[in-house]
Amino acid sequence: MKLITFSGPPSSGKTSVISKMIRAYLERGTKVGVVKFDCLQSNDDKIYARLQVPVLLGLSGQQCPDHYYISNIEDVFNWGAGIHLDILLSESAGLCNRCAPHIRGIPAVCVIDQMSGVHTPGKIGPVLRFADIVVITKSDIVSQAEREVFEMNVQYVNPRAEIFHINGLTGQGSAELIEALDGYTNDSVVTDNKLRYPMPMALCSYCLGETNIGARYQLGNLRKIKIPEENTGGSK
């Protein structure tokens, strides 16, 4: 079975792109399933179920969604292999831009939205930097010049990525993406494999559920903002 990970900022069009791909896979007789990792609530599993493909929804709740993803991907992978899928698509939303779900040797797709502005690629971090393939959505509604600048900015962050433009509404461009993904191995390995980029670990009391505010509640590895002395406003 081939695992493909999709990630990207919220509302960038991951679900639309994946739905279009599922249709194309089904048309050619590929057995495809999806797992969606999300934080609090999601109706996307219903969107996928409507396409009549096996779907799993994982909600991380109080946990960091990326940590939740990586501690469950092995089980999910085994689930997919157990029901004899050819391809398992994993979708997870990058929330704080610090982590990336990309696993070594497993095709990693980052979906970003052209409407989010030409400077966004510089702000996304490892999700974009360590992806094999970058999908740019909503590029049909901005000027050609902005498209070219956006692509250039993607290339600054990830010089080696293949870049595809996909219209999430019509699916235009998804045929090329599928072709590119066909080039990756059909025998993904998850167990004993490694993340491409380490995820930051629980660092402080707030990671453990602390809700009180104030220095005396803060434990562990803390980062404090640097405030220049002349701007503190207080008396000395």
Partner 1 sequence: MTINKYLKEPVESLFAEHPYAKDWLEQISCVIDPGDTLFDVLYKQRESFYVSQNMTARMIARQFEDYLQVMRDMLEQPVRAVKTITLCPGHGKTKEPEQFAPLTFHPGDIIAVVGPTGSGKSRLLEDIECGASGNTPTGRRMLINNETLSKDRKTRTRQRIAAQLSQNMNFVIDLTVRDFLSMHARCWPTANTGGRIERILELANSLAGEKFDMESNVAQLSGGQSRALMIADCALLSHAPIVLIDEIENAGINRRKALELLTGEDKIVFLTTHDPLLALLAHTRLVIKNGAIDRVIQRTKREEETLRKLEAADNKMLELRTLMRGGELLEDL
30 touches partner 1 (CB under 8 A): no
Does the protein bind partner 1 through residue 182 (CB under 8 A)? no
In the complex, minimum distance from the CB of residue 81 to partner 1, in angstroms, rounded to a whole number = 29
29 DSSP assignment: T
What is the nearest approach in angstroms of partner 1 to the Cβ of residue 80?
A: 26
Output b/e per residue, 115-128; b: 16+ Cβ within 10 A.
Answer: bbebebbeebbbbb
Distances (CA, A) of 150 to 12, 75, 118, 133, 223: 14, 37, 5, 15, 33
Interface positions, 61-100, toward partner 1 (CB under 8 A): 97-98
Q: According to the binding rule CB under 8 A, does residue 176 interact with partner 1?
A: yes
Does 28 bind partner 1 (CB under 8 A)? Our answer is no
Q: Is residue 149 close enough to count as binding partner 1 by CB under 8 A?
A: yes
Containing 110, the helix (H) or strand (E) segment is strand 108-113
Contacting residue, 54, 70, 86, 162, with partner 1 by CB under 8 A: 162
Please give the structure tokens belonging to residue 228. Answer: 């220049």
For residue 120 the two structure tokens come to 């966004």
3-class DSSP state of 14: helix
Q: Which residues bind partner 1 (CB under 8 A)?
A: 97-98, 115, 117-118, 122, 125-126, 129, 140-146, 148-149, 151-156, 159-160, 162-164, 172-173, 175-176, 179-180, 226
